Structure 1
């Protein structure tokens, strides 16, 4: 089930980042901004459509980080480093060969999203657990 979910996410991510809909995605972020700024006045005055674009890039890579940790059992930081490299490649391809705008802000946002997803599913070490090692013996006065 997890592998099928990862494959579906991977295909959807590839279609989204490689497709010719950069303009449509920009229009989507503006529509969200208008909705939250004017129709439902939730956004502060200083928030711009670009802020929503960054937030959407963060959200886009949260599942990548989570799925990578769950499938490979790699540490969160290793998944984050690999996601940063993968995001840099995606943005470079978009900038060089596709009719899209690749930016370093997108790389940072994607990396943050992957880190959040990876950290969210990384088990915490518990005191006295075999993975954390033996608990320290009690100190005597």
Structure 2
């Protein structure tokens, strides 16, 4: 059986989607392929998001925000959008989830921690579904 592929998409691919991808990679331990992208990628990962992830022992500082492509969506089994509206291409047969999450852009670490923790809960739930289903 091929490992399922999950694509996390947000506007800047600098905060929410990067945190979600890092958490899923960490928990899945190679059992799920993970990608992330943004409709309007930033130049670098959000420093507060990186700091919040470092508190969990995960380093996302070397990640590079990536432009969303049709190929990335086409390759994914599950596409999770996080505030990117209708900028994500829709392909029949794909599973789409929209996670309504606050944008960490421009926020300090105290505001980003609860966003990280919400993403963490959602990622754990998604992983359980992917591996049990």
Which protein shows a greater Rg?
1
Q: TM-score, normalised by structure 2?
A: 0.28
State TM-score, norm by structure 1. Answer: 0.27
Higher relative contact order (CA 8 A, sep 6+): 2
Comparing both structures, which one devotes a greater share of its residues to helix?
1
